[in-house]
């Protein structure tokens, strides 16, 4: 209780509980106020170009910006670029930058910053961005506010790389010629966003204030945003319920507390704002190890799993049962693919067909599950999978470890089964292909760890990314989805919607497909 009291007092909040919790009725945006956001765990830094931890992006997304942002339908919208064009042949992209954008230190934001960010900074620090910008043949800057990219070959998702986490713009005048990860500015970041850095008291809170020189006139509405770090889950829930904070998202919210929070009339849970990342929980099966090399075994395991139970009882309704390797909120998704309904008898029949007959104790095979060590709900998922497999005669041992060892083992292919969530980044070429390409079978975290290799799939992904005809592109992705769900190198378990809990006095915070990670220039607080 002493730790709980210290955590609450550490928020430094003085608003009366009744005022903070009162549902808002005003509809006209009001200027002023401090939005208070819970973040857990506390990130190591908030420079989004140096890392993509959830806390880093949630906080850094208010400081740093990309050239573009995306609406709920994944359509590009102006960010630091006010307009853009693509050539008819799909090889040239021209961005026209805002002329009134400035860095927080007052220096102008120019085309030189864009070229430095994408061709130097991110090439050293950001694996996802590096894979995109390595496709650039040349970059031209006709003037300080125009950037022209010429690609080596067509890459249709190119625009989607310019969002807040894929290509956050960095100030050349601060970072050029330095060791990026050791630059003193990392401790006091300088961006172009609607909020600028003030202070960080480690273990307690981080403060941002309104950027008075923001390029959007009249924005932001808020005076400040304060981020608070409370390690105790129960204390975080109480802080939300009592109106001591206004928002919590991702791992700052316990799934086990969701039903309780949903019943609180002062709170609401966002149902949009993760379309760009579209988290998809996959069960990755190591095809190098028998019996996983036989797709009948992989299919049997998926038939043994009640994915509605996972959705409703483990993740408390936060998501939907997926149909394949592409999330339903991601471009080029189709639902017309082979289905794997919960059917233990079909699972047993597939195992019989393989010759895996039950022994005297009913066991047909023994496997291991490497559990994701990121919270109680992930632990429960591992335990549920173990029991599901046991019911069809597959004895599973759940292996629990720490995050560092988990990453090391997954990266080095040291597992039978592992489960985690993959972000899709709006286009299958950016978030899906990496898990299945033959060329990506390598010991790199979140690459193709299971060893699946189908040259036809590689060719289809390549064709889709170079194709400008949308019908032909869709046809390629149709075949990809049907083939992957038939071969089943990974089993889709849940399209996860991370909880984002908001006090009802918060308005217009979740306005794009980036949800709580976006800039919050339009967010405001009712009295």
Predicted local distance difference test score (pLDDT) of residue 238: 97
As given in the structure block, the two tokens for residue 385 are 């999978």
Q: What is the pLDDT of residues 48-93, one digit of tens each?
A: 999 988 899 999 999 999 999 999 999 999 999 999 999 999 999 9
* Residue 277 and residue 519 in contact, taking contact as beta carbons nearer than 8 Å: no
As given in the structure block, the two tokens for residue 145 are 């506010």
- Which residues lie below 8 Å from residue 283, measured CB to CB, with a gap of 6+? 301, 302, 385, 417, 418, 419, 490, 491, 492, 493
- Which residues lie below 8 Å from residue 379, measured CB to CB, with a gap of 6+? 371, 373, 400
Q: What is the pLDDT of residues 488-526, one digit of tens each?
A: 999 999 999 999 999 999 999 999 999 999 999 999 999
Rounded to an integer, the average pLDDT of 182-193 is 98
Place of tokens 């794997």: 340
Whether residue 1 has pLDDT greater than 70? no
Report all structural domains of the chain as residue ranges with CATH numbers, in order of start: 2-62+193-274+499-525 (3.40.190.10), 68-175 (3.90.76.10), 280-496 (3.10.105.10)
Report the chain's mean pLDDT, rounded to a whole number: 93
Q: Torsions phi, psi of 501, nearest 5?
A: -100, 130
For residue 8, what pLDDT band results from cuts at 50, 70 and 90?
Answer: very low
As given in the structure block, the two tokens for residue 70 are 């995306």
For residue 403, what pLDDT band results from cuts at 50, 70 and 90?
Answer: confident
Q: How many CA atoms lie within 13 A of 2 on its CB side?
A: 0
For residue 15, what pLDDT band results from cuts at 50, 70 and 90?
Answer: very low
Predicted local distance difference test score (pLDDT) of residue 264: 98
Rounded to an integer, the average pLDDT of 414-438 is 95
Whether residue 18 has pLDDT greater than 80? no
Q: Residue 253 gets which letter from DSSP?
A: S
Give CA–CA dist 322/335, Å, rounded.
9
* Residue 232 and residue 1 in contact, taking contact as beta carbons nearer than 8 Å: no
Grouping H, G, I as helix, E, B as strand and the rest as coil, residue 58 is: helix
For residue 129, what pLDDT band results from cuts at 50, 70 and 90?
Answer: very high
Burial of residue 455 (number of CB atoms within 10 Å: 0-12, 13-18, 19+): exposed
Radius of gyration of the chain (CA): 24
Predicted local distance difference test score (pLDDT) of residue 255: 93
Rounded to an integer, the average pLDDT of 209-231 is 97
Predicted local distance difference test score (pLDDT) of residue 404: 87
* Residue 261 and residue 38 in contact, taking contact as beta carbons nearer than 8 Å: no
Whether residue 222 has pLDDT greater than 80? yes
Predicted local distance difference test score (pLDDT) of residue 21: 35
As given in the structure block, the two tokens for residue 512 are 């794009």
Predicted local distance difference test score (pLDDT) of residue 374: 84
Percentage above 70 pLDDT, the chain: 95
Predicted local distance difference test score (pLDDT) of residue 527: 87
Predicted local distance difference test score (pLDDT) of residue 49: 96
Predicted local distance difference test score (pLDDT) of residue 375: 81
């Amino acid at each position: 209780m002493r730790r709980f009291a210290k955590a609450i007092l550490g928020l430094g909040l003085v608003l009366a509980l009744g005022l903070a919790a009162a549902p808002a009725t005003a509809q006209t945006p009001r200027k002023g106020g401090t939005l208070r956001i819970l973040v857990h765990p506390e990130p190591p830094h908030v420079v989004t170009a140096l890392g993509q931890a959830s806390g880093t992006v949630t906080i850094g997304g208010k400081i740093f910006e990309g050239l573009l942002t995306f609406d709920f339908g994944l359509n590009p919208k102006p960010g630091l670029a006010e307009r853009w064009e693509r050539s008819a042949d799909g090889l040239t992209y021209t961005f026209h930058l805002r002329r009134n954008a400035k860095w927080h230190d007052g220096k102008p934001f120019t085309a030189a910053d864009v070229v430095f960010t994408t061709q130097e900074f991110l090439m050293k620090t950001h694996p996802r961005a590096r894979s995109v910008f390595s496709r650039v043949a040349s970059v031209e800057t006709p003037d300080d506010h125009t950037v022209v990219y010429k690609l080596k070959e067509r890459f249709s998702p190119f625009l989607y790389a310019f969002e807040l986490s894929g290509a956050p713009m960095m100030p050349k005048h601060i970072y050029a010629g330095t060791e990026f990860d050791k630059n003193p500015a990392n401790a006091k970041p300088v961006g172009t966003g609607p909020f600028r850095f003030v202070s960080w008291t480690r273990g307690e809170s981080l403060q941002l204030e309104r950027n008075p020189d923001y390029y959007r006139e009249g924005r932001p509405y808020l005076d400040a945003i304060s981020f608070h770090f409370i390690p105790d889950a129960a204390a975080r829930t109480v802080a939300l319920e009592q109106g001591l904070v206004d928002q919590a998202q991702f791992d700052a919210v316990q799934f086990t507390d969701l039903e309780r929070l949903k019943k609180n009339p002062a709170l609401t849970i966002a149902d949009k704002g993760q379309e760009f990342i579209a988290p998809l929980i996959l069960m990755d099966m190591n095809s190098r190890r028998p019996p996983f090399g036989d797709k009948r075994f992989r299919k049997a395991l998926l038939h043994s799993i009640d994915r509605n139970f996972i959705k409703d009882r483990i993740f408390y309704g936060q998501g939907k049962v997926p149909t394949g390797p592409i999330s339903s909120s991601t471009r080029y998704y189709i639902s017309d693919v082979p289905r794997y309904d919960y059917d233990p008898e079909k699972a047993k029949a597939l195992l019989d067909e393989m010759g895996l007959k039950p022994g005297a104790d009913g066991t047909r095979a023994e496997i291991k599950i490497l559990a994701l060590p990121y919270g109680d709900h992930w632990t429960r998922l591992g335990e549920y999978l173990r029991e599901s497999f046991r019911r069809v005669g597959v004895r599973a041992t759940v292996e629990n470890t720490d995050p560092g060892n988990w990453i090391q083992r997954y990266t080095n292919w040291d597992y039978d089964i592992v489960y985690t969530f993959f972000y899709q980044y709006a286009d299958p070429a950016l978030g899906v292909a990496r898990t299945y390409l033959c060329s990506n079978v390598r010991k790199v975290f979140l690459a193709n760890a299971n060893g699946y290799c189908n040259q036809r799939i590689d060719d289809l992904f390549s064709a889709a990314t170079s194709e400008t005809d949308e019908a032909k592109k869709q046809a390629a992705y149709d075949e990809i989805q049907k083939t992957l769900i038939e071969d089943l190198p990974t089993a889709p378990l849940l399209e996860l919607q991370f909880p984002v809990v908001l006090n009802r006095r918060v308005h217009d915070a979740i306005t794009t497909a980036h949800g709580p990670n976006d800039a919050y220039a339009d967010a405001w607080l009712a009295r």
